[in-house]
Amino acid sequence: MIKAVFFDVGNTLASRKPNGSLEVFQPSTPKLLTVMGSVLGLRLGVISNLPDELTSADLRRLLAEAGLLTYFDPGGIVTNHDAGADKPKPRIYQFAADQMNIAISDCLYIGEDQAEVAGAQAAGMCAILKPFPPRD
């Protein structure tokens, strides 16, 4: 039974603007997060590969500035820096499930990258490939 949903950020929920900020896909991202969290009662998180120059705090700031941070469980925002592994390595997905204290088999990953979706599946998560560009 799915209890938590983890999303990729870039090209799944938003795109990066030239200035580095996030441009949320409207209206699909807010609707998707609202339905998953408020309507279905699932815990929501993020699994993101960040470049070396960005920190986990930077990701939280970007999500907050884009109006997305409040959708996510505070323990569910996971980066490759936190996990010590990049997507699509199974270790990052297991780390994310552990951060939420949920069995990996009770987690779903949604992203636009086929290799990352396959990595989540290899780790034991359910996973869905979300089309990019988004179809609102």
**pLDDT at position 136 over 60:** no
105 near 125, Cβ under 8 Å?
Answer: yes
Structure confidence at residue 132 as a pLDDT band (50, 70, 90): confident
Can you tell me whether residue 67 is helix, strand or coil?
A: coil
pLDDT tens column, 74-83? 999 999 999 9
Write out the CATH class of domain 4-122. Answer: alpha beta
- What does the pLDDT look like over 5-20, one tens digit per residue? 999 999 999 999 999 8
Q: Where are the domains of the chain?
A: 4-122
Does the pLDDT at position 131 exceed 90? Answer: no
The neighbouring-strand residues paired with 8 are none
Q: Is 77 helix (H, G, I), strand (E, B) or coil?
A: strand
Q: Which of 46, 23, 1, 4 is nearest to 133 (CA)?
A: 23
pLDDT digits (tens, 9 = 90+) for 20-59: 899 999 999 999 999 999 999 999 999 999 999 999 999 9
